[in-house]
Amino acid sequence: MALRIGIILGSTRPGRRGEPIASWVLDTARAHGGADYELIDLAHHRLGNLDEGGNPTHRQYEHPHTRAWSALIDDFDGFVFLVPEYNHSFPGALKNALDYVYGEWNDKAAGIISYGGWAAGVRAAEALRLVLAELQMATVRTQPAIALLPAFETGAFVPAEGLAAAVCGMLDQVIAWSGALRAVREAKAEAHADVLPAAAP
């Protein structure tokens, strides 16, 4: 079965610059191949502020939107996070979406593409790495960064020279780790099945 990689657009802000970048990243990824890619736009999921009373490690979700989000995230082998920098970190909407579930993120690979002002969003990416590590995700080293100027100097998104190559290099790492970690998840599932109590006769 082909690997499935979700490209998560990590901003829900009106007028965000992320939409044309995400569209370009998705097209670039599909042209690169190696996995099936799908765009996950947080603005379309309307999770709202975390409203689950239980611990997400138990997956005992009360609300339909949480169950839908859980099923979506669970279905992917790895992710690419497209993240802007807001005040030296990443958007609260992305942190909220990450916090809704836990095991669904575990043992999966993650790449990060940042965008922003003169720092090109790299401080947001570094903050995000800490959260992803706590979610037991493996972040890859290659980290493309997009400075909004000159990328939007003409109004439309114009990728800088070498950006496509950097994104493809990151994807190669995400694909490799996603395949390896799928095997890890499968081995854990088998081990868990072996220790489950036998069904009553």
Classify the C-alpha dihedral 9-133-164-26 as positive or negative. Answer: negative
Among 44-53, 80-89, 189-198, the minimum mean pLDDT is found in 189-198
Reported confidence tier of residue 51, pLDDT bands at 50, 70, 90: very high
CATH architecture of 4-195: 3-Layer(aba) Sandwich (3.40)
Asked if 98 and 47 count as a contact pair (C-beta separation under 8 A), the reply is no
Task: Count how many residues are written for the chain.
Answer: 201
Domain ranges (residues) in the chain? 4-195
Segment 63-68 mean pLDDT: 97
- Average model confidence (pLDDT) across the chain: 95
d(CA 28, CA 22): 10
pLDDT digits (tens, 9 = 90+) for 136-181: 999 999 999 999 999 999 999 999 999 999 999 999 999 999 999 9
